[in-house]
Structure 1
Amino acid sequence: MPSTPPPPVPGDDRDWTFVITDGCPDCGFQPLPPAELADVFVKRSTRWRDVLSRTDAAQRPAPTVWSRLEYAGHVRDMLAVLQERVEAMLGQEGPVFADWDGDAKAVELEYWNEDPQQTLAELQRSAAQVGRLLHGVTALGWERSGRRSDGMSFTVATMSQYIAHEMEHHLHDVGA
């Protein structure tokens, strides 16, 4: 694994919130009933095992495209963001979420330098924690809301859909 940072990956400024209701034509994601979301995270986390077992998991396919390892680190951290935001929506009235820059987080945490098996274990642990959290959400809880710093409002259900898409889309990105 390289010890010096690879070139930055260009940011994606597309507004992906359309996937919450419309699904994603790129990866095939379709929105799910809230009650099914808890299990989706755990099931999808197992698909990363083969991805991160590859000998080239840390190699970028192109200089400005994340490696499989970097995508896995991003998904792991998005799951932690989901957990934090769902807990806030369930415990507070209308929380506002600080901006989260996944590209900056990748550089800060040096995803390219991580151990693939440790990243896998952490991703699966985060997915299991999110699954347990979502299994405990009541019918009214799914409608609890919060707002991103850019003004976009989410419910527990729509935030969970958004991150479920994130996980599926990045599995698609790495060919899994």
Structure 2
Amino acid sequence: MSASERGVDPVGVVVPDGKDWTWVLERACPDCGLDVPAVVREDVAGMVRANAEAWVGLLAGAEEGLRRRPRPGVWSGLEYACHVRDVFRLFRVRLDLMLAEVDPLFPNWDQDETAVAERYGEQVPAVVAGELAAAGEALAAAFGRVAGEQWGRTGGRGDGARFTVESFARYLIHDPVHHLFDVTGERV
């Protein structure tokens, strides 16, 4: 049975998102409703845990529904979950860099290339759920250990975006919250 016969569009159909999402550090997101500037930095660890728990619950749903894209060019719930798992992993690495090095430049990451290479739409939801939960907990624990002057440590992306650990935490939490909205339609 081909992917299209199962109701799954090929991964390559998704058009890369070229937006610079750092604007969420300045104002609430009109789509998902998260008011990123109002997020208390110490709350990010708990927000990551709660978000990971919501994804794990979503991944417990019917596998066929998780694999189905709502329309061409839009990831399925499973693909979004894989992306969130990888965001949690990546941001843990980047947080560690910011805490260990002076003003590190983060290695580039192409999320769309990763989705294709890792075959997000073909992964096993139960496995993704376990990996997402573990990655979320590791990231939450890492943010939970940040204290005092560490919040002011800096790092940046190759595109010129600069972050403190505090702004990095706020920027991070928007991504999984927004993608949960993408899948469920539920605003925060």
Q: TM-score range by the shorter chain?
A: over 0.9
Separation of aligned partners in 1, 2:87 and 2:28: 19
Question: Counterpart of 2:158 in structure 1: which amino acid?
Answer: S
Separation of aligned partners in 2, 1:149 and 1:57: 33
- Deviation of 1:5 (Å): 4.2
Matching of residues 100-115 of structure 1 within 5 Å: 100-115=109-124
**2:138 corresponds to which of 129, 137, 142:** 129
Question: Counterpart of 1:118 in structure 2: which amino acid?
Answer: V
The match for 2:51 is 44
Separation of aligned partners in 2, 1:93 and 1:122: 30
SS at match of 1:154: strand
The match for 1:6 is 11
Question: Counterpart of 1:110 in structure 2: which amino acid?
Answer: R
Structure 1 unaligned regions, length at least 5: none
The match for 1:22 is 27
Separation of aligned partners in 2, 1:108 and 1:5: 12
Separation of aligned partners in 2, 1:6 and 1:140: 42
- Deviation of 1:60 (Å): 1.1
The match for 2:126 is 117
CA contact (8 A) 2:45 2:144 kept: yes
Question: Counterpart of 1:129 in structure 2: which amino acid?
Answer: A
Aligned residues: 176
Question: Counterpart of 2:89 in structure 1: which amino acid?
Answer: A
- Deviation of 1:7 (Å): 3.4
What is the TM-score of this pair, normalised by structure 1? 0.94
- Determine whether 1:33 maps to 2:46: no
Deviates more, 1:19-28 or 1:82-91: 19-28
The runs of 4+ residues in structure 1 deviating greater than 6 Å are none
- Deviation of 1:168 (Å): 0.4
Question: Counterpart of 1:83 in structure 2: which amino acid?
Answer: R
Separation of aligned partners in 2, 1:91 and 1:67: 36
- Determine whether 1:143 maps to 2:148: no
Deviations 1:84-126 (A, max 9, x none): 0000000000100122111111001100110001111111111
Question: Counterpart of 2:147 in structure 1: which amino acid?
Answer: T
Structure 2 unaligned regions, length at least 5: none
The two structures, once aligned, show a CA RMSD in angstroms of 1.7
CA contact (8 A) 1:5 1:107 kept: no
SS at match of 2:67: coil
**1:64 corresponds to which of 60, 69, 73:** 73
Deviates more, 1:79-88 or 1:154-163: 154-163
Deviates more, 1:31-40 or 1:47-56: 47-56
Separation of aligned partners in 1, 2:179 and 2:79: 10
